[in-house]
Structure 1
Amino acid sequence: MQIPENTYNIIIIGGGPIGIACALEAEKKGLSYLILEKGCLVNSLYHYPTNMTFFSTSEKLELNNIPFISNNPKPGKREALEYYRRIASNNHININLFEKVTSVTTRSENEHLVKTSKREYVAQNVVVATGFYDIPNYLNIPGEDLPKVDHYYNDPHYYATQKTVVVGASNSAVDAALEIYRKGGDVTMVVRKPEIGKRVKYWVRPDILNRIEEGSIKVHFNSFLSRITDDEVEINTPEGQVTIENDFVLLLTGYRPNFDFLKDMGIRLSEDGRKIPEYDEETMETNIKGIYLAGVICGGVETHKWFIENSRVHAEMIMEHISKTKKDDN
């Protein structure tokens, strides 16, 4: 019987490191696959800050035992982009870039219709490896939609000599505050908790604490931004409302997976506020037969639990199960 065009054993949604890892494992098992990525290769990584340094060492970011050689103990964004690009090109990974998946409909246990911005595909199995970097955690305050406000940070040069408010106390917020300060920016941090986050990179946290202590970077703890205008921001602090002059606002308050996309597929989410998708921890298969999860999306809103280092194993688990199921069906 002739297999219809655009039909695969597996459609992998997401062309990041974990999506690529899934493709490599699919090839080992002799399974036909296609990665669909809405942006460029490793799109989320591409949009990370220019000077970003990984928490993990290079060997913990490796895929398929392919060596990741770095000039530094902790590799940076540019090195990682080169590494994953070379893996994709040298292994002739089957991937369609700039093709967004719009829906996944299960027509039977062994058939899923995947619609994209360009065409339709049929797959026996679908792996969702979409990460979490696409949707910011909005504050929903007046002025959040002003041109001076951004939920993503790229390069400190843009903010040189400017009065910049950085909201947040995690790695992204701390990195932005330090880099902008060192490029001559006037930085004020707004932190809703009483201290800088405990999970901030251990070699960076002392730096930000020292800059705050000496007054080089101002900070309002136990505080939150309540209003943004063209030239000011209003901050609710324990001492009352504070209004300061301001040129730019970076709302680095974290990001979340596209939960609506998961729910539209029929994947159940926990109702305890964490929105953890339902899946088998041994196979990574969700409550929908033939639909699997891989990578950070498995953690719901707890996006700090899964990352490249500890979710690479998902690829092997998924492809082992798909391969075994395929044999059993035959």
Structure 2
Amino acid sequence: MTTTYKVLIIGAGPIGIACALECKKQNWDYVVLEKGALTNSLFNYPKNMTFFSTSEKLEIDNVPFISNNPKPNRDEALEYYRRVATSNTLNIHLYEEVKSIKKVAHQFEVTSSKSSYHADKVVIASGFYDIPKLLDVPGESLPKVTHYYNEAHPYAMQDVVVVGASNSAVDAALEIWRKGGQVTMVIRGSEIGDRVKYWVRPDIINRIKEGSITAHYNAEIVKVTEKDITINTPKGELIFANSFVVALTGYQPNFKFLVDAGIHLSEDEAQLPQYNPETMETNVPGLYLAGVICGGTETHKWFIENSRIHAKLIAAHIKKTNS
């Protein structure tokens, strides 16, 4: 049996929750489908992660976010968004992955891992964290290589290569070093990323200068084996012993999912999906985007702080088109 809703929202992250709150205000029949846990991307962030933004900039629907420090941590964010979802009894189906979206006449047919749905409108707020940007080198599929970092303890007393120079890579390198890991950073550019948190950047630079953490700039991994790793540097290839590779080189949206739904992408490297920034409606009438997925490969441009407004823009447009 197929269930019909006015609005179907894909993704139960902060922006998906914000969209659900707007639907509830309008008394619209809606459902949120989430492939993993509530706020699945936040749940998979490192345990000790601290946000760049202050707590009030992470609030949705004017619900106060109280944290112990001006910049909240992962656990405080999980608690906040969980309370918002549960206290508002939002209609969220967890661990139900959307497989396809198809526009048929004036409705959408949505197929998930558990059921099928009809919806007048669909909002994709699925983020980008589930698909890492691969190194595309021999040995990347070995168990010692991971594209996600959770905590430092497993890497204590190990030779660890951290790939990248962004916030996640820098945080991982510092935490692993402080827990007793021998850390080598492999950085494609000529310096630590300029978007690294301002209170962390001096720390990593000083640890590299003093020799506590080794950094190879303008370098790339060539090959990974069970016992060692080969990297290419301006001085030539280096081979050294290695226990683990933590490749934090970024993530990207599921572009195939967007294209299969009929959304046009720009032909340049950014692969920006086509949508109206005033309404968030894509080139497919009735199909909307919300949150970081709007940025294509430029995932640093959209985050909770500046995409909270998407929910209100979408709700206003749906209300207007139905009036």
TM-score, scaled relative to structure 1 = 0.97
CA-CA distance at 1:38 after TM superposition = 0.5
Flag structure 2 segments of 5+ consecutive residues without an equivalent.
none
Residue in 1 that maps onto 2:17: 20
Query: For the residues of structure 1 that align with 2:209 and 2:70, how far apart are their CA atoms?
Result: 28
Flag structure 1 segments of 5+ consecutive residues without an equivalent.
none
Residue in 1 that maps onto 2:137: 141
Query: For the residues of structure 2 that align with 1:291 and 1:102, how far apart are their CA atoms?
Result: 16
Aligned pair count reads: 323
Map 1:86-125; keep pairs closer than 5 Å: 86-108=83-105, 110-125=106-121
Q: 1:186-239 deviations in whole A, cap 9, x for unaligned?
A: 000000100000000011000000000000000000000010000100010000
Q: Which amino acid aligns with 2:119?
A: A
Verify: 1:154 aligned to 2:150, yes or no. Answer: yes
RMSD, matched Cα: 0.8
Query: For the residues of structure 2 that align with 1:186 and 1:113, how far apart are their CA atoms?
Result: 52
SS in 2 for 1:136: coil
Verify: 1:56 aligned to 2:56, yes or no. Answer: no
Query: For the residues of structure 1 that align with 2:2 and 2:299, how far apart are their CA atoms?
Result: 37
Q: Where do 4+ consecutive residues of structure 1 move more than 6 Å?
A: none
Residue in 2 that maps onto 1:254: 250
- Does the 8 A contact of 2:2 with 2:116 survive in 1? no
Q: Which amino acid aligns with 1:232?
A: D
Residue in 2 that maps onto 1:38: 35
* Counterpart pick for 1:218 among 214, 218, 224: 214
Map 1:1-330; keep pairs closer than 5 Å: 6-108=3-105, 110-327=106-323
Q: Which amino acid aligns with 1:301?
A: T
Q: 1:46-90 deviations in whole A, cap 9, x for unaligned?
A: 000110110000000001100000001110000000000000000
Query: For the residues of structure 2 that align with 1:32 and 1:205, how far apart are their CA atoms?
Result: 47
CA-CA distance at 1:326 after TM superposition = 1.2
Query: For the residues of structure 2 that align with 1:286 and 1:39, how far apart are their CA atoms?
Result: 25
SS in 1 for 2:6: strand
Q: Which amino acid aligns with 1:276?
A: L
SS in 2 for 1:243: strand
TM-score, scaled relative to structure 2 = 0.99
